[in-house]
Amino acid sequence: MKAIRKILDNVKPHVQKGGKFEKFHSTFDAFESFLFVPNEVTKNGTHIRDCIDLKRTMSVVVMALMPALFFGMWNTGYLHFLSIGETNASFFDMFFYGLFKVMPLVAVSYIAGLGAEFVFAQIRGHEVNEGFLVSGMIIPLIVPIDVPLWMLAVATIFSVIIGKEVFGGTGMNIVNPALLARAFLFFAYPSKMSGDKIWITDLENGKNIVDGFSGATPLGDATANIDPSALPSTLEMFMGTIPGSVGETSVLMILIGAFILIYTGIASWKIMLSGTLGGFIMAILMFFLDPSSYTQIMPYQHLFLGGFAFGIVFMATDPVTASQTEKGKWIYGFLVGFLAILVRVLNPAYPEGMMLAILLMNVFAPLIDYYVVEGNIKKRLKRAK
């Protein structure tokens, strides 16, 4: 590390103001701050002293995503070998098969997203934001394993430019960039984001697929009015050995990530809890009020299906796009879960309601906070009188 530090110190004068390559200052600063903690200090009065900064915050979230990522790699291999009737594949056969399928998605996400970030930083002459460290990891986890890489790159660039940079960068965006990438893919290329054969690698090509094997997700089977008893067991849905997006299938791995985020204070447990309660209450209402077979899935099973758990833990809790007030977090989280199940059940053409629910509530989060603050002001004025 000392050698790297020495190289950076030798290059630094040339990229600072007045240097030969001063226009590349933003790019140099991004690499330097990634490798080493910045040596800058607050020049004005300091109001808050804390060891946490944006880079450390993003690093903790990425670490919390690791269980879902690693399980997604193994599950990709597990479902592939299951689809071709290979019962003798070892744990490592499954994991490394999934590793070589998932890592290109991760690489393309980071290359495309950070490339867009660097271009905007150079054009505007500001620092490269660390916010994409998390978005770049989430995007590959919420798409099918066989999504074409060029589509993923286009969606990622779109999410960076339209979802963040046009609003001023990290901390200024009003919607979650990772979810915007998924929404772009869903509406621009629906054939690649829905259907029976996109959730298991190579299933579309029909290579050695066992007769009668289906790659449909449990949510897809549910919307097709499949008998609820024919769905995977609750244990299978909880563990995650089912078709689905790379990182969304295992509730267990997502809960491990939730524990890390809550323990470190990075994410709000209020949003996670209220979102789960909102979804569960709506599922109960639909279970008793609507006689269709889709709603006869047990209410608690809705919490294990699709991207509900992943969305509540990793995307609804985004500190930039979620509500900021304490009361607002309860309201915001509850409505996210409530609306996700409402869309899922009443609109079978679009069963994954979590994405739309979060994007909608991202837009209304500032309004929720506004009325919470106004309510507090009125209460204080009454006490003052």
**Phi, psi dihedrals of residue 58, rounded to the nearest 5°:** -65, -35
* pLDDT for res 293: 54
Write out pLDDT tens, residues 289-315.
Answer: 875 656 567 888 889 888 899 999 999
* pLDDT for res 35: 56
More confident call, 120 vs 14: 120
**What is the Cα–Cα distance from 311 to 248, expressed in whole angstroms?**
8
Q: Residue with structure tokens 């298991």?
A: 200
* pLDDT for res 108: 95
* pLDDT for res 190: 81
pLDDT of residue 105 exceeding 90, the answer is yes
Three-state SS for 107? Answer: helix
* pLDDT for res 45: 55
* pLDDT for res 15: 63
Cβ–Cβ under 8 Å, residues 127 and 29: yes
Write out pLDDT tens, residues 245-287.
Answer: 899 999 999 999 999 999 998 999 999 999 999 999 999 988 8
Using alpha carbons, list the distances in angstroms from residue 274 to 162, 212, 234: 29, 40, 22
pLDDT of residue 22 exceeding 70, the answer is no
**What is the Cα–Cα distance from 296 to 231, expressed in whole angstroms?**
12
**What is the Cα–Cα distance from 267 to 273, expressed in whole angstroms?**
12
Write out pLDDT tens, residues 130-147.
Answer: 677 888 999 999 998 888
Cβ–Cβ under 8 Å, residues 351 and 222: yes
**Would you list the domain boundaries of the chain?**
54-374
For the record, the structure tokens of 244 come out as 């689905």
- Determine which helix (DSSP H) or strand (DSSP E) holds 252, and give its type and residue range: helix 251-263
Cα dihedral sign, 128-356-275-323 = positive
* pLDDT for res 209: 64
Between CA 344 and CA 349, with CA 346 as vertex, the angle to 5 degrees is 65
Write out pLDDT tens, residues 27-70.
Answer: 556 555 655 566 666 655 555 556 666 677 888 899 999 999 99
For the record, the structure tokens of 111 come out as 């290359």
**What is the Cα–Cα distance from 39 to 84, expressed in whole angstroms?**
55
Write out pLDDT tens, residues 203-256.
Answer: 666 566 655 556 667 666 666 555 566 677 889 889 998 888 899 999 999 999
Three-state SS for 101? Answer: helix
Write out pLDDT tens, residues 332-373.
Answer: 999 999 999 998 888 766 767 888 899 999 999 999 999 999
Q: How far apart are the first and last CA of the chain?
A: 63
* pLDDT for res 322: 92
Q: Concatenated DSSP letters for 14-82?
A: HHSTTSTTGGGHHHHHHHHHHHS------SS------S--HHHHHHHHHHHHHHHHHHHHHHHHHHHHH
More confident call, 196 vs 143: 143
CB contact set of 246 (below 8 Å; sequence gap of 6+): 69, 72, 73, 76, 102, 105, 140, 141, 142, 143, 144, 145
* pLDDT for res 24: 58
- Please state the pTM of the whole predicted model: 0.84
CB contact set of 72 (below 8 Å; sequence gap of 6+): 98, 102, 141, 246, 247, 249, 250
The closest of 217, 214, 249 to 235, measured between CA atoms, is 249
